[in-house]
Amino acid sequence: MNDAKLYNVIRAPRVSEKTARLQEVSNQYCFEVAKDATKADIKIAVEKLFNVKVAAVNVANVKGKARTFRFREGSRKDWRKAYVTLAEGQSIDVTAVA
């Protein structure tokens, strides 16, 4: 898998209170990923981009919320997130500025 494909699979890290707790408690990290990415693609991308060993990948599809703007109905886009569990002793610094 080339570098361009890796960055298309992993779009961005999701940082929130929930994901911070997951990092501390169970060594899991959350990423926004491409809609067509498989668990195997996500595992390869994380291992190559961050030089870590991935133990497991869980994927969830998130439905976009319905919104109204100036009396017009609309909705946010659907997206997909992946919870990546790393092997013991591994870590990723998701707050680092590239």
pLDDT along the chain (98 residues), means of 10: 86 94 95 96 95 97 94 95 96 78
41 in any annotated domain: yes
92 in any annotated domain: no
Dihedral sign, CA of 15, 16, 20, 23? negative
Whichever domain contains 55, its CATH number is 3.30.70.330
91 in any annotated domain: no
68 in any annotated domain: yes
Q: What is the pLDDT of residue 17?
A: 96
98 in any annotated domain: no
User: Whose structure tokens read 């497991």?
Assistant: 56
For 18, the token pair is: 């929930």
Question: Whole domain around residue 71: which residue ranges?
Answer: 3-86
* Alpha helices per DSSP H over 10-86: 17-26, 39-50
Q: How far, in Å, are 4, 43, 58, 98 from residue 29 at the CA level?
A: 22, 12, 10, 18
User: Whose structure tokens read 């498989």?
Assistant: 38
Q: How many domains does the chain have?
A: 1
Q: What is the pLDDT of residue 98?
A: 57
Q: What is the pLDDT of residue 95?
A: 76
Q: What is the pTM of this model?
A: 0.89
Q: What is the pLDDT of residue 43?
A: 97
Q: What is the pLDDT of residue 20?
A: 93
**Which is nearest to 44 in space by CA: 35, 54, 34?**
54
